[in-house]
Amino acid sequence: MSQPGGSEELVLASDFGVLDRVDELAVRYGQLAGFDDGPLMEIAIAVVEAVTNAIVHGNKCDASKTVKMRIEWEPGLFGLTVHDEGEGFDLACVMDPTDPERCMETSGRGIYIMRQVMDTMDYEMGEGSGTTLRLTKALKPV
Amino acid sequence: MKVKTDMEGEVAIIRLSGNLTGGPESDEVRGAIRRLLDSGARKFIIDLKGVPWINSTGLGTLMAIYTSVQREEGVLKLAHVSDRIQSLFMITKLLTIFDTHPTTEEALGAF
């Protein structure tokens, strides 16, 4: 009998070394939710990007700050929440990295990538309370 | 991440193993390319056989390397690009920027 769903929460150091573990969890829970091949790879790409953004842009690689991550899954649905201790940003100011004038930039692609591969993306920012990102992806009917 | 450099004639082959995620390994790879440029190398292959995936920060490292090599009129080719890295190039519309080849031998033959 398949499991109805579940969740896992982790508190991660602001260190790129956590990304291998994050990738493994994304693949594991994506598989449990029923995703395979391409969509599973997209989930892993997005989860790694979400935590990378939290480390780099949220916590500014400050080792004293942590990233909280929660993965929720159920058959046909994968959800991720990532919280950092950063000051937030204006989502409207995020530029399109595929714009020919910006395509050679060495940064600024994380949010664009997550938007492309996930179904929903929501940011919640409050003064002094950090930034919370929520991503979801649903299995497409065949 | 491990960075190993070999010369095949006038082509520098930089073999990476481990994920390219923006940590100290990014500086290591960029430093290796910088030293090769300073020593006169202008033809480069980055062999990604041992790199299952990269993130946007690693992608930024590849872009920085590409720009450094271009600025000095060099040529950069990538070999053994995984499906996941290829997918990242496609999502970010960088497929046309990077010259990718299935193997190092094919990349060598393309100079």
Contacts of B67 in chain A (CB under 8 A): 104, 106
Distance CA B48, CA B39 (A): 23
Interchain contact B17–A (C-beta under 8 A): no
pLDDT at position A1 over 60 = no
Q: Choosing among A12, A14, A15, A16, which should be mutated to test the B contact, i.e. which has the most B CBs within 10 A?
A: A16
The answer to whether B57 and A52 are in contact (CB under 8 A) is yes
Which conformational region is residue B32 in: left (phi greater than 0), alpha (psi within -120 to 50 degrees), or beta? alpha
Contacts of B61 in chain A (CB under 8 A): 106
* pLDDT, position B93: 93
Other CB atoms within a 10 A radius of the CB of residue A96 amount to: 13
Contacts of B98 in chain A (CB under 8 A): none
Reported as a pLDDT band with limits 50, 70 and 90, residue B79 is very high
Contacts of A116 in chain B (CB under 8 A): 91
Interface of A with B in 64-123 (CB under 8 A): 97-98, 103-107, 109-110, 112-113, 116-117
In this prediction, residues B58-77 reach a mean pLDDT of 97
Starting at the edge strand found earlier in the chain, the sheet holding A77-84 runs A6-13, A66-74, A77-84, A130-138, A120-126
pLDDT at position A3 over 80 = no
Nearest CB to B84; choose among A41, A97, A104: A41
Contacts of B60 in chain A (CB under 8 A): 105-107, 109
Other CB atoms within a 10 A radius of the CB of residue A48 amount to: 27
pLDDT per residue over A36-78, tens digit each? Answer: 999 999 999 999 999 999 999 999 999 999 999 999 999 999 9
Distance CA A37, CA A35 (A): 7
Distance CA A22, CA A89 (A): 24
Distance CA B50, CA B80 (A): 8
Contacts of B90 in chain A (CB under 8 A): none
Residue ranges of E strands in A55-113: 66-74, 77-84
* pLDDT, position A53: 95
Token pair, residue A36, equals 């395979």
Residue A64's CATH number: 3.30.565.10
Q: Considering the domain boundaries, does residue A23 fall inside one? A: yes
Interchain contact A48–B (C-beta under 8 A): yes
In total, how many domains does chain A have? 1
Distance CA B50, CA A54 (A): 26
Radius of gyration for chain B, computed over Cα atoms and rounded to the nearest angstrom: 13
The domains found in chain B, sorted by start residue, are: 2-104 (3.30.750.24)
Torsion over CA: A119, A125, A129, A131 (sign): positive
Distance CA A34, CA A3 (A): 11
Helix (H, G, I), strand (E, B) or coil at A17: helix
If you measure CA to CA, which chain B residue comes closest to A46? Answer: B55
**How high is the ipTM of this complex?**
0.91
Q: Considering the domain boundaries, does residue A26 fall inside one? A: yes
Helix (H, G, I), strand (E, B) or coil at B42: coil
Domain of A80, in residue numbers: 6-138
The answer to whether B38 and A87 are in contact (CB under 8 A) is no
Subunit contact A52:B94, Cβ cutoff 8 A: no
Q: Considering the domain boundaries, does residue A1 fall inside one? A: no
Nearest CB to B57; choose among A23, A45, A52: A52
* pLDDT, position A2: 56
pLDDT at position B74 over 60 = yes
In this prediction, residues B36-59 reach a mean pLDDT of 97
Helix (H, G, I), strand (E, B) or coil at A6: strand
pLDDT per residue over A76-126, tens digit each? Answer: 999 999 999 998 888 888 888 988 888 888 888 999 999 999 999 999 997
